[in-house]
Amino acid sequence: MFTHYILNKSNYPIQCDDNEEWSKWMQENNRIVNHDFVGDILISTVFLGVDHSWGGGPPELFETMTFAKDESPWDHTVIGRYTFWDEAVDGHEKAVREISSYVGRQ
């Protein structure tokens, strides 16, 4: 069974056991933490709303993922998962620096 979460007004995740409430929250709220382009690579960090740790540690509720054109090694690559908003912000910024460095070496 999936464990669902929503964010309170301070972007703190709270468990939500009501599927209807969770679904409505996911549809009506902005879940984007940040997104940036580095060249043709999109770096996107979002709130997932579902725990992706699958019971193996702290909940993984946010994800930084990259999307790229052509056959880039960065296409559909999960860079990191996080429990809290602030960790997701930091992880996003780290991913931007890492990919900027990679693109700069090409």
Structure tokens at 81: 């998962």
How long, in residues, is the chain?
A: 106
DSSP 3-state of 29: coil
- Arithmetic mean of pLDDT, 83-106: 91
pLDDT tens digits for range 22-72 = 999 999 999 999 999 998 899 999 999 999 987 778 999 999 999 988 777
Q: Which residues contact 37 (CB under 8 A, 6 or more apart)?
A: 43
Q: Specify the DSSP element, H or E, that contains 56.
A: none
pTM for the model stands at 0.91
Whether residue 96 has pLDDT greater than 70? yes
